[in-house]
Chain A
Amino acid sequence: MSATRPDRSKLYHQQVPSTWWLKKSTYFLFMLRELSSVFIALFLVVYLVQLYQLSDGPQAYAAFTHKLSSPGWILFHLVVLLFAIYHSFTWFQSTAVILVLRIGDRVIPREMVTALNIGAWGLVSLAILILFLALKG
């Protein structure tokens, strides 16, 4: 395989308006899926800031956690949760396209692979919740 590509500047580019993804619902859902990663990353940054408070002692940690109970933060986490769940579903759907499972000669249908992933997701989530409750002290 060649390790080179044609020069980009010599390729033909069709000009598309920046709002192309608002024109069709499937394009819009595609963009929402891509942007779900932004909300997931924001959540992890907030979580990291919360953990950082622990190095200032349990009081700082409790104070920060209390701050997160305000309506604004609850709304933020609600939006994050919806995007995170949307990411999970779409990720399992694309996994089913890439991961072709067989039993003998028969290919397991994509819907089944997606369903298996969703089942595993449920079990993993439950395990994390149980571990959290067991270890939190």
Chain B
Amino acid sequence: MIRENTTEPLWWGLFSAGGVVAAFLVPIHVIIAGFAVPLGWISDPGMLYRSWLVRIYLFVLISLPLYHWAHRFYFAVNDMQLGVPRKPLSLLCYGGAVVGTVVTAWVLLRL
């Protein structure tokens, strides 16, 4: 018998929260940042990002879907049966999301 992974509820919770953020918030941000601003439909001098409320919002917007990615990608690669060992893969996925969270905080703090 092996011990149950007791951190699973934490990762699942972050996955779920990230899924909600991605579903409700990401598409409009793709339209704004991917099309409207680059193509000049909306001018954006970047003043918006001086606000702390905006930065806190962006922290949530960027960091949570990274955990959503980690969880889905980990299980998708496992399900594909590509022979990728589980331990390094989980470290890459969940560790990547944690590193992404720290980098996001760092970028937003020094704006």
Contact = CB atoms under 8 A, between A and B. Distances in A.
Nearest to A43: B30
Nearest to A133: B42
A128 to B, nearest CB: 5
Nearest to A127: B28
Contact of A48 (B2, B24, B37, B62): B62
B49 interface: yes
B22 A84 contact: yes
Given A68-B38, A136-B42, A136-B47, A48 B23 contact: no
A105 interface: no
A55 B111 CA distance: 5
B26 interface: yes
A61 B38 CA distance: 11
Contacts of B10: none
Interface residues of B, number: 58
A135 B48 contact: yes
Consensus secondary structure, chain B interface: helix
B6 to A, nearest CB: 8
B8 to A, nearest CB: 11
A91 B19 contact: yes
A65 B30 contact: no
B10 to A, nearest CB: 16
A5 B1 contact: yes
Contacts of B3: 3-4
A23 to B, nearest CB: 13
B19 to A, nearest CB: 5
Contact of B45 (A45, A50, A52, A136): A136
30 contacts: A6-B1, A8-B2, A18-B82, A21-B79, A34-B73, A34-B79, A35-B72, A43-B34, A51-B107, A58-B46, A65-B37, A68-B34, A69-B38, A76-B34, A78-B34, A80-B34, A81-B27, A81-B35, A84-B22, A91-B23, A92-B23, A120-B24, A125-B24, A125-B28, A128-B28, A129-B31, A129-B32, A133-B42, A137-B45, A137-B47
